[in-house]
């Protein structure tokens, strides 16, 4: 079967638990590579440069844009976020499925440039759960929480541009779902045209007449 | 998530092991319902009416066509094959994923009438394996084996009309793949529009302004 890597872009409401979901997926199964974004936002407590994000100054980030070292970048709640190109291309070439966690603007940029990309949207079961998770996290001021909620309602408008939609209610179920989505996609006819043509040619020797 | 059942049509070269694959899938996981076809061909040794097929006379079969009791039917190597409507509709309504094993003509008829249907094509790894499996089965005369091989080369031309393509080399791997394909498809945005709209409406209360 097709063993070219699949590029999966994961978006979703801030507070939907994308980060935990992706970390669990990568630790539970082989063959996934998690891309680390670059950002100009400040590290939250416990975040480490090169693990959660590459933390960069505005000047450094703009230099990366100029060098075309990012496959997408966007501005979100006043900060830059972007995806370093080298890692993604390396891992895909090795046949690994690469996962990017980025917001909707960046997701659509990537889908346009790489149409084979899968777009996955992660939601909480409902709006109340989302609000409670953001407040419960306690890492941001109420002002930022409100900005994120307002932003969530804008992002919700774009869900129809995604390929898959999952609800992160139970982490375990959700990790299995994402795994099934990606692995199932490897068997798409459109991802296996080379193999199909080889078999068609091979089998055509049985044609009568 | 969406729990409407998905209709999966499985086709593939005669000798690719579709029957074994489907039986194993249904026995290993819950939630799958295997549709039994009606046919006018003679039972092979060990086949039981109502288990492998509903064996019908040509007259009985033509009456089912007239009564619109079949969702598709086709003629293949001189015999009728068709899918009884009632069972499929019942099981889908119960939220079960329904699997039909039918050939390419019928598969395309169903996709046209029910666009949400998934079409899956099962192949052997190569042409030699296909020939050896058909000869090894020993249930048909060499003349029929040759007809099936010639037919296989015609069918191969239609693979691009399918959604998914898998190679049945190792049964266990293959069963897992089919399961992942169907379960992954349940999370398609296009299968969850109602749920997405509910969440969008719910979350829009956070919109500013």
Triad B24, A184, B87: Cα angle to 5°: 50
CB A13 within 8 A of CB A152: yes
**How close does chain A come to B96, measured CA to CA in Å?**
17
In terms of average pLDDT, the best of A22-31, A134-143, B149-158 is A22-31
**Which chain B residue has the Cα nearest residue A177?**
B184
Buried b (16+ CB within 10 A) or exposed e, B59-69: eebeebeeeee
For residue A5, CA distances in Å to A70, A98, A192 come to 19, 7, 12
Distance from C-alpha of B155 to C-alpha of B105, rounded to nearest angstrom: 9
| Closest Cβ opposite residue A153 in set B131, B160, B206 | B206
- Per-residue confidence band for B147, with pLDDT thresholds at 50, 70 and 90: confident
The reply to whether CATH 3.20.20.70 applies to domain A7-36+95-206 is no
pLDDT one-digit tens code per residue, B23-47: 999 999 999 999 999 999 999 999 9
Note the pLDDT of residue B58.
96
Looking at domain B7-35+96-201, which of 3.30.70.270, 3.40.50.300, 3.30.70.1290, 3.30.750.24 is its CATH number? 3.40.50.300
Whether residue B189 and residue A159 make contact (CB cut-off 8 A), yes or no, is yes
Whether residue B166 and residue A156 make contact (CB cut-off 8 A), yes or no, is no
Note the pLDDT of residue B153.
86
Pick among B200, B206, B209 to test the A interface (most A CBs inside 10 A): B206
Does residue A3 carry a pLDDT above 80? no
CB A118 within 8 A of CB A9: yes
Structure tokens at B35: 């549709």
Does residue B137 carry a pLDDT above 80? no
CB A44 within 8 A of CB A62: no
Average pLDDT of the segment spanning A161-172 = 96
* Domain residue ranges of chain A, discontinuous segments joined by +: 7-36+95-206
- Per-residue confidence band for B209, with pLDDT thresholds at 50, 70 and 90: low
Note the pLDDT of residue B111.
94
CB A18 within 8 A of CB A1: no
Note the pLDDT of residue A127.
87
Mean pLDDT estimate for chain A: 91
- Per-residue confidence band for A209, with pLDDT thresholds at 50, 70 and 90: low
Note the pLDDT of residue B143.
85
Note the pLDDT of residue A54.
94
Residues forming beta bridges with residue B97, ordered by sequence position: B32
pLDDT one-digit tens code per residue, B84-102: 999 999 999 999 999 999 8
């Amino acid at each position: 079967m097709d063993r070219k890597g699949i590029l999966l872009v994961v978006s979703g409401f801030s507070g939907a638990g994308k980060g935990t979901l992706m970390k669990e997926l990568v630790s539970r199964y082989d063959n996934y590579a998690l891309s680390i974004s670059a950002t100009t936002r400040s590290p939250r407590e416990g975040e480490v440069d090169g693990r959660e994000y590459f933390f960069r100054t505005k000047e450094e980030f703009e230099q990366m844009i100029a060098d075309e070292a990012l496959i997408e970048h966007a501005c979100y709640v006043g900060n830059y976020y972007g995806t370093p190109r080298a890692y993604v291309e390396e891992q895909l070439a090795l046949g690994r499925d690469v996962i990017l966690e980025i917001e909707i603007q960046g997701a659509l940029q990537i889908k346009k440039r790489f149409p084979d990309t899968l777009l996955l949207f992660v939601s909480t079961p409902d709006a109340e759960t989302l609000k409670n998770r953001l407040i419960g996290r306690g890492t941001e001021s109420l002002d930022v929480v409100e900005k994120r909620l307002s932003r969530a309602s804008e992002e919700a408008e774009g869900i129809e541009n995604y390929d898959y939609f999952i609800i992160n209610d139970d982490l375990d179920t959700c990790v299995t779902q994402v795994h099934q989505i990606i692995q199932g996609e490897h068997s798409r006819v459109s991802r296996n045209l080379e193999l199909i043509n080889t078999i068609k040619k091979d089998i055509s020797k049985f044609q009568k007449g």
